[in-house]
Structure 1
Amino acid sequence: MRYFLDISYRGTAFHGWQIQPNAHTVQEEINRALSIILQQDISCLGSGRTDTGVHALQQIAHFDAELSDSLDQLQYRLNGLLPAEVSINSIRPVKPEAHARFDAVRRTYHYHLHRQKDPFKTGVSYFFSRSLEAAPIQEAIGLMKNWKNFQAFSKVHTDVNHFDCDIYEINWQETNEGYVFSVSANRFLRGMIRAMVGTLLEVGQGRLNQTDLKNILESGERSRAGRAVPAEGLFLTEVKYPESIYLDI
């Protein structure tokens, strides 16, 4: 039977989600814990990769196994084996053909920035003390929301068939402590969100105007957009699926 794992992790201690040689990854830890408990080789597959240092409030991964324990027992045992930086929030049975990556219809990310130095935000928010103008950022957000091709915000040499993304929601919010950028879409390109935030910071500081931003997006050239902000402020916060893929057992 196939199951979806709902996972949270603090990415500071990991070289991202996906297994890679000579690196400590979240997927590796979960595979190890599942294999020990179920006494067979288990390999889970996530909804998408997150880079080194990126966090997740909700990552979804699927795995196949025949279970003797209840789902509550398996969740308890997994959390006992996994490092403190990783937690299993729930386990749900799904249809055999359900796929954590390909069946996801919406993914949401948040990027956090704080204005005052704060040791308790180290690793989970980006310290950015320079002043920003809100109005041009909001105008830039409107342009991005209605755009389709985001090649200018993608890492180069990525193995994708196209650079189109459907943006469902995008916001820049000022808080008491700093700023939160949030974006929901059907898919994201590698490095896209960190490049978006870096470009918005350029806009907010008056280094880029709306014409510049439009020209950057039309060009598809990553080198013309803003720098990628650090990974530490980025969180995968939600992955949505059609309810029809879940089984009620």
Structure 2
Amino acid sequence: MPRYFIEVAYKGTNYAGFQIQQNANSIQAEIEKALKIFYRQEFKLTGSSRTDAGVHALQNFFHVDTNFFSEHEAINNNIYNLNAILPDDIVIKKMYQVADNAHCRFDALSREYKYYTYQNKDPFIADSSFYYPYRLDLEKLQQAATVLLDYNDFTTFSKKNTQVKTFICELIKSQWMFDEDQFCYNVIGNRFLRGMVRGLVGTMLNVGTNKLSVDGFRKIIEAKDCTLADFSVPAHALFLVNVKY
């Protein structure tokens, strides 16, 4: 049976996360529902990167095995109709056939995230950036971000009750920047743990406000103890921006 990748983007505010779950609405549930309505057939999707409740994505993927999709032109027409069924905060961007053994999760080479904070009250970005009205030292934030590239065991930055077999992640890029009056943390890695990016951001913000030294940040990483990380930053400022194959 042919396999297809489905590229999606979404605003995660109204959803309990990316992956389907009991007693809560999710991105996957909405897309499976739209596919069922349009094709009159049940679909079981596999997702590439799980995002938590409230997290957004400019790009994420599912794959599905089906005979119901057809040639390129028909797929493009069907995308329009599927988007008409989907809520306004979810969009299907592409649907295309891939190799029968392609896997949208395991074949991904990297994922890229951005987390935004702002310091001057602005109602126009309040739902997509974290209001953090404290003086930040960009140089120290950058030092902390660079320190992360020296490590690959991120046990400290994984929330409890996770079922992963390993806490090893390879970071390709880790940096803070000042972008359009916002501080932005940009990180690329081969994989990420549950709550990892928010844990990194929250803990580095303590470095940026001089509550924690860069050496202290290193000790927190090396302790491999998630109770030492700060996961308190909100989800709504986090974006999955790219999944690379």
Quickly name the TM-score band, shorter chain normalised: over 0.9
Alpha-carbon separation, structure 2, partners of 1:227 and 1:37: 40
Aligned to 2:33: 32
Counterparts of 1:63-142 in structure 2, within 5 Å, are 63-66=64-67, 67-68=69-70, 70-142=74-146
Structure 1: give runs of 5+ residues left out of the alignment: 242-249
Counterparts of 1:170-185 in structure 2, within 5 Å, are 170-185=174-189
Counterparts of 1:1-249 in structure 2, within 5 Å, are 1-66=2-67, 67-68=69-70, 70-241=74-245
1:10-41, CA deviations, whole angstroms, 9 ceiling, x for partnerless residues? 00011111111111111000001111212211
Moved over 6 A (4+): none
What secondary structure sits across from 1:121 in the alignment?
coil
1:68 shift after superposition = 4.4
**Structure 2 counterpart of 1:55, one-letter code:** H
Structure 2: give runs of 5+ residues left out of the alignment: none
1:227 shift after superposition = 3.3
- The 1:76/1:215 distance shift into structure 2, 3 A limit, reads same
Alpha-carbon separation, structure 1, partners of 2:140 and 2:124: 30
What secondary structure sits across from 1:100 in the alignment?
coil
RMSD: 1.1
Alpha-carbon separation, structure 2, partners of 1:61 and 1:227: 27
1:77-122, CA deviations, whole angstroms, 9 ceiling, x for partnerless residues? 1111100000011111101111111111100000011111111112
Any conservation in 1 of the 2:195–2:231 contact (CA below 8 Å)? no
Moved more, 169-178 or 191-200: 169-178
Alpha-carbon separation, structure 1, partners of 2:87 and 2:109: 30
**% same residue:** 39
Give TM-score scaled by structure 1 length: 0.94
**Structure 2 counterpart of 1:198, one-letter code:** G
Aligned length in residues: 241
Moved more, 116-125 or 185-194: 116-125
**Structure 2 counterpart of 1:141, one-letter code:** A
Any conservation in 2 of the 1:197–1:228 contact (CA below 8 Å)? no
Alpha-carbon separation, structure 1, partners of 2:25 and 2:196: 23
Alpha-carbon separation, structure 1, partners of 2:51 and 2:160: 17
